[in-house]
């Protein structure tokens, strides 16, 4: 098996994913870009396993096992990520990553000074 083509395709997929994470503002598209990067890693794992198995003659399918592990992690990651994005959309009405205001030091100071009954948990 000639492993150059899968490695090049994996590098292109990973590059597209990195570009998507760095350039996109929509949280859904950022999650999709992360998934693209994980799929590139899966392709590398399967290709490396097939290449090494043909060269060494080993029978243990370690690359496929790692790929299944990455797929399970990706499924969990997308579930949690979509839940966070959905909650963010319900709270703020937008999912633009640049518009998300993270907690600041002043917000923490205001919360510490506020009486307990004024703090509302959404």
Q: What is the CATH number of the domain that holds 38?
A: 1.10.287.3510
Looking at residue 61, what is its pLDDT? 75
Tokens of 20: 């998507």
What is the tally of structural domains in the chain? 1
In a domain, 121, yes or no: no
Looking at residue 2, what is its pLDDT? 78
| Residue-range definition of the domain harbouring residue 20 | 3-113
> Global pTM?
0.72
**Tokens 């990553």 sit at which residue?**
97
In a domain, 118, yes or no: no
Distance CA 89, CA 77 (A): 18
Query: In the chain, which stretches have pLDDT less than 70?
Result: 1, 58, 104-122
In a domain, 119, yes or no: no
In a domain, 96, yes or no: yes
How many CA atoms lie within 13 Å of 13's alpha carbon, on the beta-carbon side? 18
Residues recorded for the chain:
122
């Amino acid at each position: 098996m000639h492993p150059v083509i899968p490695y090049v395709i994996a590098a292109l997929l990973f590059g597209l994913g990195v570009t998507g994470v760095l350039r996109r503002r929509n949280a859904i598209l950022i999650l999709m870009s992360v998934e693209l990067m994980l799929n590139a890693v899966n392709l590398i794992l399967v290709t490396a396993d097939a290449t090494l198995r043909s060269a060494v003659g080993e029978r243990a399918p370690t690359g496929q096992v790692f790929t299944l592990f990455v797929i399970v992690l990706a499924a969990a990651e997308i579930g949690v990520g979509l839940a966070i994005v959905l909650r963010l959309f319900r709270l703020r009405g937008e999912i633009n990553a640049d518009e998300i205001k993270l907690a600041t030091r002043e917000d923490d100071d205001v919360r510490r000074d506020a009486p307990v009954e004024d703090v509302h948990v959404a």
